[in-house]
Structure formats: C-alpha cells, structure tokens
Amino acid sequence: MPELPEVEIVARSLAAQVLQHKITAIEKLDWERMVETPDLATFRATLPDRCILAIGRRAKWLLMTLDAGWTLALHLRMSGNLTVQAAEAMPDIYTHLVLALDDGRRIFFQDQRKFGRVRLLDPVGLAALHASLGPEPLDTQFAINDLAQLLARRNARLKPLLLNQAIIAGLGNIYVDEALWYAHLHPLRAASSLDPDEVERLYYAIRTVLQQGIQNHGSTLRTYRNSYGEPGNNQEHFAVYDRKQQPCPRCGTPIKRILVAQRGTHFCPVCQPDPSALPITVENNR
C-alpha cells in the first residue's frame, strides 16, 4: 500500500498541479537512504532546474519525466505520500524530501515509516526499471492469453505469484485479495491448476478491482492521500479485504483471514474453496 490505483491517482492529481513547472531546489532531504540512485552528490546537483514534462506510473512507481532526459522515479511503499503544498506550508518530521517549484509551491514526500524510495534515472536506468517489471494488467495489450501463459508454467500459489511485481505489475495485498474473491479462487490454488474459464474470471476480476479502485480515488486505510491531500473511498467497497468475520457479500459466510507468504490474506471459505490440504497458518478469528 499504495498499490496501482493509489499511485495512478497520485500521478493524475500531481500532474494536474505541477506540469511544466520547474524544480528549483531540494529544500529538504533528511533521510538520505531514500535515494537509491545516483549517488547523493549527483542527485543534489542534477535535480534542480529540471522542468516537469510529464507524470505517469509504472507498476507502483510514480514516474516524473524531466527535461534533459532524466526521470524522477518515486516509490511510496507502505506509508508514503506526495502532496503539493503552498509556499508557507511547513514540513513536519515525517516529510523527508521537499522539492521547491518555480512558483513558490513545494512538493512534499511524507513517509512515516521511511520505506519510500527515490531514483533519478537516465534513459538506460529507466529502461532497466521497465524491464524488471511484469506487464501492466490494465494495458490494452494485456490479454487473457497473456495471463494464461504467465500462470500455466508456474506451480506457485496464486496469492504470492500475483504479488510478484516481476510477474504482473502493480498488484498488492488489497487488490489481490479482492480479485481472487471476484474470481471465486482460493489464494492457495496453484497457478498452473487454473482451467481456461478460471483464467478468464481472474483476468476480468483483476481489471475490475483495479478500475474500481481508480474510480473510487484509491483505498485509504491509514495514511494514503492524493496529491491534494484528499483520502480515497475505495475501502468502503471492499468485498473481503480487512473484513475478517464480517459476512461475505455473496453468501453471507464469515470472511476468514489467514497468512500466506507472511501476508494477511482475506477470503470466503465457501465462495473460494480450499483446493488442497496444504498446511497454512490460520489466525485466531475470534
């Protein structure tokens, strides 16, 4: 968290405010480990005076296209937020990066847990980032057959496989749980065990939950905000995620929460039947 829908909303709301503006200075950078590449001296010397030409997204990375061939890539991780603030706004202790703009406003990167990361990439670095990530599930070029091929050659369980950004881009804990519920698939199903109808259900379920998340401006469980500082409301539309012991919207059975690959995983035991007797860690649902 944030996942694909949240990063997409941040990108759109940020673009609406800062396109064609110039970054004039790095006013604050107090958590230097957030800069993954290049070295800090190059980062500090290169970023000022760059004009923001475009803002987009790749997987969970926000991509800010700058002039002179540079791209500022930002990953919000668990608790990061990017907001545009007025000139008089004061950064708090959780604001670890402040970029000054040519009109006096600033871009704040706030991150309570200090998991967020920043990369300033040249064209080679940007190409490497793209190559490290799987296909975009909302891309018009991504078809049912593409998903079928990704699943057919892997015996991994569905939940951890769908979380793997090198396999398919942008999905996280929330939207995988939601998609598997829509598709009537247990999170422990082996990916290669899906028949064509199940693959098709999963394909449309993934696209449905991601589009729903975007339409509802993202899911705000704790800290997520768009670049205006506004929360999303997709959490009001969850079918299973964060709904342990609440009734399944389809059948009324209480939602269960288990651990899969150390991730809290929500599902309906009736709508998403357990495919095997594989051992799993079940939390106390009382």
Active site residues: 2-3, 60, 263
Strand-pair partners of 83: 108
Element of type H or E holding 109: strand 106-111
DSSP characters over 205-250: HHHHHHHHHHHTT---SSS---TTS----GGGG-SSTT-TTSBPTT
Q: What DSSP character marks residue 255?
A: P
Residues 6+ apart with CB under 8 A from 261: 157, 159, 160, 163
Helical (H) or strand (E) element with 102: none
What single letter denotes the amino acid at residue 51?
C
Using DSSP, state whether 39 is helix, strand or coil.
Answer: coil
* Chain length of the chain: 286
